[in-house]
A and B are shown apart, each in its own frame.
Chain A
Amino acid sequence: MIGGLFIYNHKGEVLISRVYRDDIGRNAVDAFRVNVIHARQQVRSPVTNIARTSFFHIKRSNIWLAAVTKQNVNAAMVFEFLHKMTDVMAAYFGKVTEENIKNNFVLIYEILDEILDFGYPQNTDTGILKTFITQQGVKSQSKEETSQITSQVTGQIGWRREGIKYRRNELFLDVLESVNLLMSPQGQVLSAHVAGRIVMKSYLSGMPECKFGINDKVLMESKGGKSGQDDTRGGGYVKNTSGLYSKPSSSTKTSIAIDDCQFHQCVKLSKFETEHSISFIPPDGEFELMRYRTTKDISLPFRTIPLVREVGRQKMEVKVVVKSNFKPSLLAQKVEVRIPTPLNTSGVQVICMKGKAKYKASENAIVWKIKRMGGMKECQLSAEIELLNTNDKRKWTRPPISMNFEVPFAPSGFKVRYLKVFEPKLNYSDHDVIKWVRYIGRSGLYETRC
């Protein structure tokens, strides 16, 4: 098959040379240059025969790609292969230009190693190649936005290849939220916001159209509170501002007000603007569908109530109560409370019934770790801090108490109403798709002043 592959720039200088078979010598490189690139006449044919060696070349912008062979090989296949090779390179680092080739030298050699073994084309699928190739492409500044816009305008789908098949059609939705809070010592929320991402892992056959429904306020109001199907597992109690707990009834569903959101390239924005529906053809595998931010009606998973008492100049008494504010059946994981201590601390005595608390002198904090905590529970920690004598007249400004945790629900109140899958060409319907949703709410900067 292909004995060697050479890439030249417009001057005829060799940028890449890879010889796969012994019958191609160094003079082949020069022969092509002299006879084709620097020839006086115009190019007569993409196939050139010099001394029993056939040279197949394609020219892209000002780069020549030549495949050389001494055997009898089908020209159409070689050209398709060269074409595909330029596609692969373009997928890694944008347009095939001299600059890009020079910047991605090693990557190209890796690619050539993988796609041509001893001159026989192997696998040229970009997705699979990425598993074998260690390098990332280095793109030079080029017009990438225009290509994105073109694809949106023309409807070309560049993020999903045709002919994907799975025996089990399933999809996994991860709603990952990060809740950030700043609370005053009196228990008033000074600022709070939730930054969320929806990550979807789809293993669906063909080119399915997906429609994603959420409890977005705008949508709910426009539809007059009509409810869609609820595929999710587990609703939650939602705390309203007056502190009373109410269970959502089947007719009124709570909705969240999304401040702003960003979508993945595959989402049809035109549909979002007109009907406010999120419609897309997902890329295969994992991708981030959307990002959003909310600031209103956040259900804070934990409430920290600190109590600090200074006893003279030598001692400080600290009592911290942590209340969990969610359904009792749910469990928060990896809960950690950090209580900062003054710099002149000599020793700390800590008592807590739940979890483990340790004083870390290097960090000037008491770190209280609770492995698991259920909802609607209260935990308490009391500590006696001994202080060294210090002449420092300055009062210690108490840094806030910070918390880290992970909860299995979305603190913003975000709910996935439905995710419908339509694939008209293949014979599986929305009901055949196995759907999984999970909510993971993590703490961002979660602080209570004391």
Chain B
Amino acid sequence: MENLSIDYILRELSSMKIATDVPRCRHCLSKVLQLCSSIVAQDLSPFLPPVVNLMAHSDLLIKKSACLILTKVSECKSELFLLAVNTLLKDIEDSNPTVRALSLHTLCAMKHATFVEHRYSSVVKLLSDPSAYVRRAAVMSVVTMYHDEKSVSKDAVVVNRLYELVRDDDPLVVVNCLTVLEEILESEGGVVLSRKMVGYLVKRLESFTTWGKAYVMKLLQKYKPKSEEEILDLMNVLDPFLDNNCATISLYTLQFFLLLIKDLPDFKDDVFLRCQKMFLGVFTCGNSELISCFLDYLQKEHKPDKNAIQKLFADHYKVVFCKQKEPGYLKIQKLKLLVELIEEENFTAILEELILYSSDRDPQVSICSIGCLKRLVLEWPGVSTQLLKAFHKLLRSERNHVVSNTLQVLVTFSPETLKNLSEVSTQLCLIAQKMSDAEAVVAVLYLIGQFELDNADSLDVIEEFINKFSELDVKVKTQLLMTSFALFCKQPAMFQPILAEVIDLCMHDDDCDLVYQAKCYFSVLHTDAQTAMKIFC
């Protein structure tokens, strides 16, 4: 029964017997639902007559499916809507609370005028329903109404009832009321949070569901307590939530606390310490997207609080190490955090990790990691030997992108730093021949120009490039030009013929920029040799 055509399903649903054959009916309705979600926009209006009939069926699943299909096909106009409205209004009086809630939802989801005129009275009626499940649905339907008719927010009956329902027994009803009030009273600044209300919510916080707790905590962030005593009271009561099972709740609580103690900076350290366990827990959970969110939060919100973060993770830096299977963006974020955590004790361990990531398969991760190594060079001048070894190792890597990335990062160092890394230069010539990536070649050429190399080798390299001149990328040609000038200025006798050849090739090149550059440099050299030496070396 896999590929049913629309006609077949339509015939099945319209047949008289379908209402009695429950499993077949369910199956047909599920097929219609599948059609609804398909990419190609199907015209589903021929389904409307049988679907409306089935809405009055006693089987709950058929009712649910029929109502759902009705909401999806709501763009069509039809007299059948009147029949549908009557069915829904009857169902609102049904004894089964699930049916009542379902019909209210469907009633409010439809935009057609026939539905709209009845929904206000139904919603108001069901806001006082004895069943909690129905009350929840009624509360959420208020929002649906509001999005259609903004005047609902001014309606005293509804708003007062919603405020009353905040004191309801059922925790979900309470949370729903708060969310709805927040939304419809947005223009007035949302729910009014008096001290009594806050006290009441904090007392009931335990009984809410996870999402309820998270939402209420976020809501509480709006509240500004009047006295320091009140702040401390609140913090004491809400303390257990800092270390909650659910990371979002802890995060919201943390935000709330930080808002509360804006004027009391001494508590900050303590607060962060309390959250430590939670943060560590987040890092070890398998949810990489969540970890990414938390890292983002730490980076953005706490740029000035580097010390605090360092203290948090100092002993547990291993938790931040990346796992093989994590997505690229997460590894990059973790790397950035790792660099912040480096201290004397953990230097070697973190360095090893960085070297490991530098040879990662993902080029983005690799370049970020090498960038971190560069930071280390700049910030920790005393440990340059280790770093040097690291760079050596990387340059010898078999993975081209690793070498290329290393070279690109080396290029960004200032000449003084480079002098410290002069041993790197020995490998440069070998690499130059290996590389095919334009950026890498540019980097190599630049480096060759910077270091005092064994002349024969560099001569060979340049000659090679001259032979391949026409195939080279423009950037490479430019760099070749610059390097030739630099080498010439260091060793005029040796490199004079090479320079002449390069200039000649460049001037006859297609790219006008290159031609211009060549002409320009030549004229500088020609006019004032001394100044030229200073410029190019």
B50 contacts chain A at the CB level, 8 A cutoff: no
A135-185, CB < 8 A from B: 135, 162
B24 contacts chain A at the CB level, 8 A cutoff: no
Known contacts A46-B289, A118-B144; A14 and B37 CB within 8 A of each other: yes
- Inter-subunit contact B136/A117 (CB<8 Å): yes
Q: How far is B413's CA from A403's CA once the two chains are assembled, in angstroms?
A: 96
- Inter-subunit contact A80/B209 (CB<8 Å): no
- Of the listed stretches B26-34, B316-324, B393-401, name the one at the interface; the rest are far from the partner chain: B26-34
Known contacts A15-B37, A79-B290; A123 and B172 CB within 8 A of each other: yes
Residues from chain B with a CB closer than 8 A to the CB of A21 are 147
A120 contacts chain B at the CB level, 8 A cutoff: yes
Distance (whole angstroms) from the CB of A32 to the closest CB of chain B = 12
- Inter-subunit contact B328/A58 (CB<8 Å): no
Known contacts A118-B143, A120-B140; A79 and B33 CB within 8 A of each other: no
- Of the listed stretches A102-110, A215-223, A404-412, A439-447, name the one at the interface; the rest are far from the partner chain: A102-110
Residues from chain B with a CB closer than 8 A to the CB of A15 are 37
Task: Give the contacting residue for A80; candidates B26, B61, B215, B248; CB below 8 A.
Answer: B248
Distance (whole angstroms) from the CB of A48 to the closest CB of chain B = 11
- Inter-subunit contact B289/A58 (CB<8 Å): yes
Q: How far is B252's CA from A26's CA once the two chains are assembled, in angstroms?
A: 33
Which residues of B come within 8 Å of A, CB atoms?
A: 26, 29-30, 33-34, 37-39, 41, 60-61, 64-65, 68, 98, 133, 136-137, 140, 143-144, 147, 172, 176, 179, 209-211, 214-215, 218, 245-248, 251-252, 287-290, 292-294, 296-297, 327-329, 362, 364
Q: How far is B181's CA from A120's CA once the two chains are assembled, in angstroms?
A: 13
Known contacts A16-B37, A45-B329, A113-B64; A80 and B246 CB within 8 A of each other: yes
Distance (whole angstroms) from the CB of A407 to the closest CB of chain B = 39
Residues from chain A with a CB closer than 8 A to the CB of B248 are 74, 76-77, 80
Q: How far is B27's CA from A105's CA once the two chains are assembled, in angstroms?
A: 10
Q: How far is B418's CA from A319's CA once the two chains are assembled, in angstroms?
A: 115
- Inter-subunit contact A124/B210 (CB<8 Å): yes
Distance (whole angstroms) from the CB of B282 to the closest CB of chain A = 9
B contacts with A: majority SS: helix
A14-67, CB < 8 A from B: 14-17, 21-22, 26, 29-30, 42-46, 56, 58
Which residue on chain B has the smallest CB distance to residue A16?
B37
- Inter-subunit contact A42/B362 (CB<8 Å): yes
- Inter-subunit contact A79/B293 (CB<8 Å): yes
Which residue on chain A has the smallest CB distance to residue B141?
A118
Which residue on chain A has the smallest CB distance to residue B364?
A42
Q: How far is B60's CA from A80's CA once the two chains are assembled, in angstroms?
A: 31
Task: Give the contacting residue for B292; candidates A13, A42, A45, A135; CB below 8 A.
Answer: A45
A398 contacts chain B at the CB level, 8 A cutoff: no
- Inter-subunit contact B290/A76 (CB<8 Å): yes
Which residue on chain A has the smallest CB distance to residue B143?
A118
Counting from the closest, the 3 A-B pairs by CB-CB distance are: A121-B211, A46-B289, A79-B289
- Inter-subunit contact A76/B60 (CB<8 Å): no
Residues from chain A with a CB closer than 8 A to the CB of B137 are 117
Q: How far is B292's CA from A44's CA once the two chains are assembled, in angstroms?
A: 11
A122 contacts chain B at the CB level, 8 A cutoff: yes
- Extra pairs beyond A46-B289, A106-B30, A134-B61 (15, CB < 8 Å): A29-B39, A42-B328, A74-B214, A74-B248, A75-B296, A76-B251, A77-B211, A80-B246, A82-B289, A83-B290, A117-B176, A120-B140, A122-B209, A123-B172, A162-B245
Known contacts A122-B211, A125-B209, A134-B60; A109 and B68 CB within 8 A of each other: yes
Q: How far is B1's CA from A416's CA once the two chains are assembled, in angstroms?
A: 53
Distance (whole angstroms) from the CB of B297 to the closest CB of chain A = 8
> 17 A-B residue contacts at CB 8 Å?
A16-B37, A22-B147, A80-B247, A80-B287, A84-B210, A106-B29, A106-B30, A106-B61, A106-B65, A117-B137, A117-B140, A117-B176, A118-B140, A122-B136, A122-B176, A122-B211, A125-B209
